[in-house]
Structure 1
Amino acid sequence: MEKHTVHVNGIDMVYEECGKENEKTIILIHGFCGSSHYWHNVCPLLSEHYRIIMPQLRGHGETSVPDNVYTMEVMADDINGLAEALGIEKTVVFGHSLGGYVTLAFADRYPDKLSGFGLIHSTALPDTEEVKRKRYQDIHFIGKEGIEPYVHELIPKLFKDSKREEMPDEVEKVKQAGLNMSPKGAIHTLEGMMMRPDRSAMLHDAPYPVLLVAGADDEVVAPDDTFSVNEQETPKSTYEYPHIQENTFEGVAHMSLVEAPEQLARVIANYLRTLSEKEPVRVL
C-alpha cells in the first residue's frame, strides 16, 4: 500500500491507497482512535476492481492535530478536500463508527459527489444524553490521565472476547493506533461527536442504495442504532425502504474490519455491484 500526504482544509492529511488507479474509486474512513490501518485486511480483497483511498482523519494517525473542535462537518470538508486534490469527482464512501458520522456529514454537504455510502458499525442517530455524559467523562479522563489508560479500557469493548484471543497480533495493532493518537486529537474528536445532529432521514431519503453493517455483539454501537431507519416516529420495515441493505454479522463486535474482513469485503463488493444495477423501486 502506498502512503501519501496532501495539504487540504488547513491540515496535512495522510492517506493510504491501493488498487487500480483507473478503476472506480471508493473511500474507506476509519473509526475513533484508529487509522487507515483499520482497513488493511479489507483493502486487498477489493483492490482488483477498485481504486481504494484510506484517509487518516484529523487528529488521527499521522495527520495534523489542529487545536479546535473536530466537528463531523469539518472532517467531511477534509474528505472533500482530499477528493478534490486527487481529482475524484464522484465516489462511494464507507465509514466505520466515527467514520460513519463523517460519511453522513459528507453525504449531507456534498450530495452530488456521492453515488452511494455505507455505515459500518455506526449510526445516523445523535448522542443520547447518557452518551454525552460519558464523552464528557472521557474528555476529563484523557485530559488528566492521558491517552494510554483510555485506550487500554477501550480495546476490550471493540472486540468479542473470543476474537481477542484468536487474533492477538491484530488486536495489538488496533491498540497501537490508539496509543499513537495525541490526547488533544482525542479530546477534540469527542467534542465533535457530541455535536452531531440526527441524520436518520438521510438513510430513508437516500437516492441510491445504502449499506448498513452491524455486529451482533457490538457493545459500542448496537445493531438497533445502526438500523435507525426503523426508529422513526412512524416505524417502517426495510421492505418499505428496499434501497437499504441491512447486514448483521454474527459472532462479531465492533471491528468486523479486523474480526471478519473477508465477510465485510464480500458484503461491500455485493453492495457496490448493486450500484451499477437499476435503482430499486422505492415505496414511500
Structure 2
Amino acid sequence: MISFTKQGTGKPIIFLHGFCETKEMWKTFSSQLSTEFTVYCLDLPGFGSSALHMDQLNLEEVAVTLHDWMEINKIKQPIIIGHSLGGYVALAMAELLGSELAGIGLFHSTAFADDEEKKHTRNKTIAFVKKHGVEKFIESFVPPLFAVHHQEMLEGEIATLIQYGKMTPKKTVLAYIEAMRDRKDRFEVWKTFTGEKFMVAGTLDQAVKIEVSKLHQPFATAYHELEEVGHMGMFEEKELSLEYIQAFLAEA
C-alpha cells in the first residue's frame, strides 16, 4: 500500500520525495498549494509508511505501482513533481503513461542515466551501507546535500531529514541504490513528452551538476536555477522554489 496525504481541491498535483526522504518534506508546499489544487504527497515504496515487498526493484516497477495507485484513487491528468529520485520516477511514469500525465517537474533531478563515475560511487555506497549500516550512512549522506553555507542555518531541517532517513530499512536503501545505478537514460522521454515540463536546479548542486541541468533547458516549459543552492532547494530557497512552482502550475 502507498501511504499518502491529500489536501485541497482542484487540479491534481503529486509530489514525490527523493532517496531516503519521505512525504513529510513537502508539508509546507502542500499547505500553500492546496488552496488552489488537490495536492498528493506520497511515500515511495519502502520509504516512510509505504512497504517494500521485494529485495530488488527497478524504476519501471515503481512507476507501475504508482499508476495502480492513481487508478485506485481516480486521479486523472496529474502533474507529477519529483525531487532527485522522485524525478527519476516521474520520468519513468511519463514514459509509461505519456499523455495521461498533464506535466512533470524535475526538482534537482536529471533525465540522464548514471555515468561510469556515478555508478562507481553507487557501488561504493552499497559496500558502505552493507558494512556500516543505514544510520551511519544517513549521517554522512544528508548534510552535503545542502550547500556548505546553508548547513548551519538549516541544521534543524538537516536533523529532521537525518531522523527520517535513519528509519529507512536497509533493504530499501540497497534496492534503490541499485535501481538508480541501473536506471535507463530517459533524456529522449524528457525531450518528447508533450505535457508541461518544469525544472529547478541548484548552481552548487553536487548530486546533479548545473552543467547537466542546463542541457534540459531547451526542452522545458519552465526552467529555473537557484543561485548558491545545493541539492535541497525546497529548504535552501523555500520561498523562491514555491514561487516557481506556483507560476508553473498557473500556466500548466
**TM-score, reference length from structure 2:** 0.95
SS at match of 1:265: helix
The answer to whether structure 1 residue 35 and structure 2 residue 25 are counterparts is no
CA drift at 1:79: 1.4
What residue number does 1:200 align with? 187
CA drift at 1:266: 1.1
Q: Is the 8 A contact 1:98 1:122 kept in 2?
A: yes
The answer to whether structure 1 residue 221 and structure 2 residue 208 are counterparts is yes
Residue identity in the other structure for 1:249:
L
What residue number does 1:16 align with? 5
What residue number does 2:168 align with? 181
CA drift at 1:105: 0.1
Q: Is the 8 A contact 2:101 2:195 kept in 1?
A: no
The answer to whether structure 1 residue 133 and structure 2 residue 120 are counterparts is yes
SS at match of 1:214: strand
Q: Is the 8 A contact 2:55 2:171 kept in 1?
A: no
CA drift at 1:251: 2.3
Flag structure 1 segments of 5+ consecutive residues without an equivalent: 1-11, 231-237, 276-284
> In 2, distance between residues paired with 1:180 and 1:245?
35
Residue identity in the other structure for 2:83:
H
What residue number does 1:271 align with? 248
Q: Is the 8 A contact 1:92 1:116 kept in 2?
A: yes
CA drift at 1:67: 2.6
SS at match of 2:21: coil
Q: Is the 8 A contact 2:23 2:42 kept in 1?
A: yes
31, 37, 41: which one pairs with 1:44?
Answer: 31
Structural RMSD (CA): 1.4
Bigger share in strand: 1
> For residues 192 and 49 of structure 1, do their structure 2 counterparts lie closer, same or farther at Cα, with a shift above 3 Å needed?
same
CA drift at 1:110: 0.8
135-144 or 202-211, which deviates more = 202-211
Bigger share in helix: 2
244, 250, 256: which one pairs with 2:227?
Answer: 250
Q: Could you tell me the percent identity over the aligned residues?
A: 29
SS at match of 2:109: coil
Residue identity in the other structure for 1:15:
F
CA drift at 1:53: 0.5
Residue identity in the other structure for 2:73:
L
> How many equivalent pairs are there?
252
> In 1, distance between residues paired with 2:44 and 2:227?
29
What residue number does 2:92 align with? 105
> In 2, distance between residues paired with 1:271 and 1:124?
19
**TM-score, reference length from structure 1:** 0.85
Q: Is the 8 A contact 2:55 2:172 kept in 1?
A: no
What residue number does 2:51 align with? 64
> In 1, distance between residues paired with 2:199 and 2:98?
18
Q: Is the 8 A contact 1:26 1:91 kept in 2?
A: yes
- Cα-to-partner distance string for 1:227-278 (whole Å, 9 max, x where unaligned): 3337xxxxxxx3xx4x532210012111111222221111111111222xxx
> In 2, distance between residues paired with 1:93 and 1:195?
22
What residue number does 1:122 align with? 109
Q: Is the 8 A contact 1:200 1:228 kept in 2?
A: no
CA drift at 1:208: 2.8
- Cα-to-partner distance string for 1:84-137 (whole Å, 9 max, x where unaligned): 111112100001000000000000001132011110000000001111111111
CA drift at 1:205: 1.5
